Amino acid sequence: MGGVSRAKLGVASTYVAPTTRTEQRLAELWSAKLGVTPVGVQDDFFELGGDSLLAADLLMDIYRDLGIEVDAAVLFLSPTIADLVAAMPVNVPEARVR
């Protein structure tokens, strides 16, 4: 998948790869929505180019794709994949990515 690299955006966080299927899928959704590759679990959605409209779209994509409703406040106040996963219900399958 093409897209803008993290280096070109000057992302402050160090890349931390997804380690679970949920993190991997969220990273894919973020990458598709923002046009940035790769997306790590500690990356800030807004630092990657996200805005309130893209955030609303992303939350709908998460619901459609994973069947999980995430409160918008979580994304706005703690805008990382790690934070989103931590806020999700405990019954979300967390098999490790290989």
Between the alpha carbon of residue 95 and those of residues 19, 32, 65, 87, the distances in Å are 9, 22, 17, 17
Mean of pLDDT over the chain: 86
- The band of 6, judged by pLDDT with boundaries at 50, 70 and 90, is confident
Encode pLDDT of 8-55 as tens digits.
777 777 899 999 999 999 999 999 999 998 999 999 999 999 999 999
> Does residue 92 fall inside a structural domain?
no
Say how many CA atoms lie within 13 Å of 17 toward its Cβ: 4
The CATH number assigned to the domain holding 46 equals 1.10.1200.10
Backbone angles phi, psi at 49, to 5 degrees: 110, 5
Lowest mean pLDDT among 6-15, 44-53, 55-64, 76-85: 6-15
Residue 76 pLDDT = 93
Domain count, the chain: 1
Contact 17, 5 (CB under 8 A): no
Is the residue at 77 inside a domain?
yes
Tell whether 76 is covered by a domain: yes
Rounded to whole angstroms, the Cα distance separating 85 from 55 reads 15
**Using an 8 Å Cβ cutoff, are 6 and 15 in contact?**
yes
